[in-house]
Amino acid sequence: AQTVTQSQPEMSVQEAETVTLSCTYDTSESDYYLFWYKQPPSRQMILVIRQEAYKQQNATENRFSVNFQKAAKSFSLKISDSQLGDAAMYFCAYRSAAAGNKLTFGGGTRVLVKP
Amino acid sequence: ETGVTQTPRHLVMGMTNKKSLKCEQHLGHNAMYWYKQSAKKPLELMFVYNFKEQTENNSVPSRFSPECPNSSHLFLHLHTLQPEDSALYLCASSQAGTVDSNEQFFGPGTRLTVL
């Protein structure tokens, strides 16, 4: 079974600075998708960024970018120019391309942004 | 209403009560999900419905009974719960069966407390 590990329970970043969240996963498959979801204190989870495993180019969405290392099974999220609104729980998730639409989530990393 | 809505947002119930959680998606999706989010644990997938048919039951105790009357509505019927069932219950939806079928949209959740 696939597992997703986020080794940092909490990260703190100064406003306008950069923070990187780590995520590793375990799978024997070659075709899959990886996601970062954000859950602000209001609890509505939203998708931040996603990466298809077959794409070598790292995904980027405005201030959010990933470092996808397929061989190392690593998928880190970089938040640049951090803003107060970035404070939230961030979850890394994995979905097999062959196993329907089931998502496996990591334990989450809480990001605190200091003004 | 837009996106995915859930009612009630908060629920307190005794172990002998029967209650239901409701989820409605306004996105035209054909797949819906129930997740359990407990403190200090990863999100746990409970049930998946595709085209109103249950396709995944992640070994959930029978005191949780899902119902999907149509592709827009999903219920979670609760009876004889235990205090350890206290958690945030999240509903999500997605459009399964297409190339871009891998984004799940989440509702705000129902915070359940079992006394």
Which chain A residues have any C-beta within 8 angstroms of a chain B C-beta? 4, 33, 35, 37, 42-47, 50, 91, 95, 100-108
Encode A82-95: b = buried (16+ Cβ within 10 Å), e = exposed.
beeebbbbbbbbbb
Which residues in chain A have Cβ-Cβ distances shorter than 8 Å to B101? 101
CB contacts under 8 A, B 22-51 vs A, are 31, 33, 40-43, 45, 48, 50
Sequence-ordered strand ranges (E) for B1-115:
4-7, 10-13, 18-25, 31-37, 44-50, 53-57, 64-70, 73-79, 87-94, 105-106, 110-114
pLDDT tens, position by position, for chain A (115 residues)?
689 999 999 999 999 999 999 999 999 998 899 999 999 987 689 999 999 999 889 999 999 999 999 999 999 999 999 999 999 999 999 998 877 778 899 999 999 999 9
- Residue to test with chain A: of B50, B104, B105, B111, most A Cβ within 10 A: B104
> Cβ B42–A46 below 8 Å, yes or no?
no
Distance CA B108, CA A111 (A): 19
Distance CA B67, CA B47 (A): 10
* 3-class SS letters over A27-63: CCCCCEEEEEEEECCCCCCEEEEEEECCCCCCCEECC
Q: Per the omega criterion (within 30 degrees of 0), is the bond before B8 cis?
A: yes
Burial class (CB in 10 A: 0-12, 13-18, 19+), B110: buried
Encode A20-53: b = buried (16+ Cβ within 10 Å), e = exposed.
ebbbbbebeeeebbbbbbbbeeebbbebbbbbeb
Give chain B's length: 115
Alpha helix locations (H) across B1-115?
none
**Residue A4 · residue A94 · CB < 8 Å:** yes
CB contacts under 8 A, B 84-113 vs A, are 88, 90, 92, 94, 96, 101-109
pLDDT tens, position by position, for chain B (115 residues)?
679 999 999 999 998 889 999 999 999 999 999 999 998 788 999 999 988 888 888 889 999 999 999 999 999 999 999 999 999 999 999 987 765 556 899 999 999 999 9
Amino acid, res. A76: S
